[in-house]
Amino acid sequence: MANFYKDNDDLRFYVDKWIDWQPLVAITEESFADDDGHDSLEDALEFYKDLLDMVGNFVADEIAPHAAKIDATPMELVDGEVIFPDVLQTIFDKIKALELHGMCLPRQLGGMNCPLMLYMLNSEMFARADVSTMTHHGFHGGMAMAMLVYSLQEGTTEFELDPPRLVKTRFADAISEIARGEAWGCMDITEPDAGSDMAALRCRGEEDADGNWTVTGQKIFITSGHGKYHFVIARTEDAADPNDPFAGLKGLSMFLVPTYEETGRGKNKKRKRLAEIGRLEEKIGHKGSATCQIHFDKTPAHLIGERGEGFKYMLLLMNNARVGVGFESIGLCEAALRMAKEYAAERRSMGKTIDQHEMIADYIAEMEADVVGLRAIAVEACYHEEMNQKVSMVAEHLLAEGSLDRARRDKEARHHKATARRMTPLLKYLAAEKAVEMARRCMQIHGGVGYTKDYGAERLLRDALVMPIYEGTSQIQALMCMKDTLGGIMKNPQEFVRRIAQARWRSLSARDPLERRFAKLQATSLSAQQHLITKTATDKIKGLRGVPMGKWQHALTKDWNPKKDFAYAMLHAERLTRILADELVCELLWEQAQAHPERRVWLERYLDRAEPRARFLLDEITTTGERLLRKLAGNGEATREEAARA
């Protein structure tokens, strides 16, 4: 019996030795307390490990062997409904029988009340078996959880305080339907003329005289769009300033839209569609996941929260989804690494197996270290995102305003929120890009057969290519990282100066050579940030000659022109993000190495590659781009000398 949990030492390191389960279990049980809760931490952990073991076995034996067939057997749109091939339907039925859809939902709503962390670790294993099945499964529980979180946010979930327990929640019926595996959920944002640019969304939400809402418009690329419950983001107000490209974000609202109604039971069941599936997208990969075009025409809708709060609600959903893509990408990386290693250990060339040839050995060694590094970010980002959401919920709903407990919890939630915000785009960016790189390497290691369908290497590459596109493209993640990083420096330049001094000092004086190397990497990252902030604030800094950097805050934070001032930083955002991601991996592996000396080797192996990469990227950031920016600004392609003379 194969088992994707038992055969993965790095994954089990997190479960057995690294994840701080105590606060996660406590807050998960505290949020949705009930009589069937775990008696102790040990009890909960035993249950989680049994579940991981069971899922590890299930995905290895019941999904992975069918991945090629899932890829080769298309689903169809028949009379407006998506029909899945038998191979997928059988898997979905088994997932339903195992009751995995409700893993994170409160027990009172038909779930197991497990931490989101457990769900994500399981998702990685699902994705290793087949990414599209993982995506499909993720759109069950994930959306049901979102219904609960939205209801909490808008204040339509009620709790008893003593003992704390859930009394009722607005979407309880829909949540239970999803938990039972009888309905799917999905997230409808993208439109033909609006993907990354959400301010351009046109789908409309309209309210009639009786306060009933409908939505009208077209959404495209909707994963699991065949499902019943759609979170639709639609425009309820026009942009106040047509010249401001971001003004449109303020007029968006979030709706829950059931896309069909069913009457009768069994063979007499009849479905009436309230929104039409226009078509199934023909994709190059993710063949087991239904990606649909949806048409809404005055379809009845339920407004979530207040009108105009759509972007805020969308971000809540996106954060979890981006962490989810991080784990999904790692699952695919793990599959690519193992497939590549297995083939390279068997295939012979020029007198030895190809894993003994230096270049191939180097590829595999880098892939191994990258998977370890990615998992370090993923677990940490997930931990902080989950703690942020649950601690905020407990503080807001179960603790009295003004109490000491409430103040403590609020502070704790702010810390988790800031950390998750720093880590999530770095995870999404790096994991997605690495999925493509590793799948490509796996294919290369297979040589000619990699280009055929025989081993499945090309399938991994086709599946990987969407990771840097959906849930916010790599470029959008890079812009977020850049803006947050430079914004943080502007808000607190003294702290930035202190960090530079500290990194330089540690790079010279730390006792541990690995700490010195990590501190040097940090110093390189800070140099890149310093260069970008100096370039970004050139005009403002001109007036600050002689003023120490620690005192620039006031001048830096006023009178910004985002179009002009950020051009240089936007040009180099991806390079900066790559350095920041390496820095974060090393920071986390350094923490692990201090507590578990057997992890030092991973930090060393990661640093070996991150150090020269960071130096190269810093060089690119400091020496390239001026010519392109002059061209984009309409000043032609003048040489540096000509531009200087002009």
Contact footprint for ligand FAD (CB under 6 A): 186-190, 195-197, 221-223, 283, 286, 291, 466, 469-470, 473, 475-476, 479
Radius of gyration from C-alpha coordinates of the chain: 25
Q: How far is the CB of 328 from ligand FAD (least distance, A)?
A: 12
Please give the distance of CA 336 from its chain centroid, rounded to a whole number.
20
CB 83 within 8 A of CB 91: no
Task: Measure the N-to-C terminal CA separation of the chain; round to a whole number of Å.
Answer: 72
Strand partners, 166: 159
Q: How far is the CB of 301 from ligand FAD (least distance, A)?
A: 16
Question: Inter-axis angle of helices 404-445 and 457-464, to 10 degrees?
Answer: 140
Nearest alpha-carbon partner for 513 in 582, 596, 608, 580:
608
CB 465 within 8 A of CB 284: yes
- Is the Cβ of residue 166 or residue 427 nearer to ligand FAD in the bound state? 427
| Residue 419, CB-side half-sphere exposure with 13 Å CA sphere | 21
DSSP H stretches of helix in 158-298: 172-179
- Is the Cβ of residue 139 or residue 602 nearer to ligand FAD in the bound state? 139
Q: How far is the CB of 242 from ligand FAD (least distance, A)?
A: 18
- Is the Cβ of residue 407 or residue 469 nearer to ligand FAD in the bound state? 469
Q: How far is the CB of 323 from ligand FAD (least distance, A)?
A: 16
* CB-based burial label for 76 (10 Å; 0-12, 13-18, 19+): exposed
Give the Cα separation of 436 and 179 in Å (integer). 33
Ranked by CB distance to ligand FAD, the top (closest) residue is 195
Reply yes or no: is the peptide bond before residue 163 cis, omega within 30 of 0: yes
- Is the Cβ of residue 192 or residue 550 nearer to ligand FAD in the bound state? 192
Nearest alpha-carbon partner for 251 in 240, 260, 259:
240
Instruction: Count the neighbouring beta carbons within 10 Å of the beta carbon of residue 574.
Output: 18
Strand partners, 217: 296
Instruction: For residue 168, give the DSSP letter.
Output: E
- Is the Cβ of residue 283 or residue 312 nearer to ligand FAD in the bound state? 283
Q: How far is the CB of 286 from ligand FAD (least distance, A)?
A: 5
Q: How far is the CB of 24 from ligand FAD (least distance, A)?
A: 28
Nearest alpha-carbon partner for 222 in 258, 190, 199:
190
Q: How far is the CB of 322 from ligand FAD (least distance, A)?
A: 11
- Is the Cβ of residue 498 or residue 631 nearer to ligand FAD in the bound state? 631
- Is the Cβ of residue 5 or residue 184 nearer to ligand FAD in the bound state? 184
Q: How far is the CB of 223 from ligand FAD (least distance, A)?
A: 3
Instruction: Pull the structure tokens for residue 46.
Output: 């035993």
Q: How far is the CB of 300 from ligand FAD (least distance, A)?
A: 20
- Is the Cβ of residue 33 or residue 232 nearer to ligand FAD in the bound state? 232
- Is the Cβ of residue 197 or residue 437 nearer to ligand FAD in the bound state? 197
- Is the Cβ of residue 476 or residue 555 nearer to ligand FAD in the bound state? 476
Beta strands in 190-267 (DSSP E): 204-207, 213-223, 229-235, 252-258, 260-263
Q: If you count them, how many residues does the chain have?
A: 646
Q: How far is the CB of 515 from ligand FAD (least distance, A)?
A: 36
Q: How far is the CB of 6 from ligand FAD (least distance, A)?
A: 31
Q: How far is the CB of 472 from ligand FAD (least distance, A)?
A: 6
Q: 11 to each of 112, 136, 582, 601, 612, how far by Cα in Å?
A: 22, 23, 20, 17, 28
Q: How far is the CB of 558 from ligand FAD (least distance, A)?
A: 24
Residue 543: CB partners within 8 Å, gap ≥ 6?
Answer: 555
Instruction: Count the neighbouring beta carbons within 10 Å of the beta carbon of residue 643.
Output: 14
CB 620 within 8 A of CB 527: no
- Is the Cβ of residue 190 or residue 214 nearer to ligand FAD in the bound state? 190
Residue 339: CB partners within 8 Å, gap ≥ 6?
Answer: 442, 446, 455, 456, 457, 460
Give the Cα separation of 116 and 128 in Å (integer). 19
- Is the Cβ of residue 355 or residue 463 nearer to ligand FAD in the bound state? 463
- Is the Cβ of residue 34 or residue 197 nearer to ligand FAD in the bound state? 197
Q: Which long-range contacts (CB under 8 A, 24 or more apart) does 369-373 make?
A: 369/602, 369/605, 369/606, 369/609, 370/333, 370/434, 370/438, 370/606, 371/10, 371/330, 371/333, 371/334, 371/337, 371/438, 372/10, 372/589, 372/602, 372/606, 373/585, 373/589, 373/602, 373/606
Nearest alpha-carbon partner for 259 in 227, 281, 234:
227
- Is the Cβ of residue 475 or residue 530 nearer to ligand FAD in the bound state? 475
Q: How far is the CB of 633 from ligand FAD (least distance, A)?
A: 16
Q: How far is the CB of 504 from ligand FAD (least distance, A)?
A: 33
Give the Cα separation of 442 and 367 in Å (integer). 10
- Is the Cβ of residue 136 or residue 531 nearer to ligand FAD in the bound state? 136
Give the Cα separation of 181 and 530 in Å (integer). 51
Residue 617: CB partners within 8 Å, gap ≥ 6?
Answer: 528, 575, 576, 578, 579
- Is the Cβ of residue 124 or residue 188 nearer to ligand FAD in the bound state? 188
Strand partners, 234: 253
Residue carrying structure tokens 């994709």: 283
Q: How far is the CB of 423 from ligand FAD (least distance, A)?
A: 20
